[in-house]
Amino acid sequence: MNILLYTLINNAFNLLQMLILVRVVLSWVPHNPYNQLIQLLYQVTEPILSPIRETLPVQSGGIDFSPIVAF
């Protein structure tokens, strides 16, 4: 039972890391923000990245370091 729970939690965190990585890559290329998959990606990752973004000091240059901290 403990191994199953560990595996489920580990897989959930791995999936979340992959979604954050996809979001970072999408920020480098033009994309359609009205695409349902992209909206779902933002809805899943924003609750994790937003609190980190609020606690980090404001950086000049427009570089968002919250995915690095979350990863």
- Alpha-carbon distance of 10 to 23, in angstroms, equals 20
- Alpha-carbon distance of 44 to 3, in angstroms, equals 26
Mean pLDDT taken over the chain: 87
Per-residue pLDDT at 60 = 59
* Residues whose CB is less than 8 angstroms from the CB of residue 65 and which lie 6 or more positions away in sequence, other chains included: 56, 59
**Mean pLDDT value across residues 31-43:** 90
For the entire predicted model, the pTM comes to 0.80
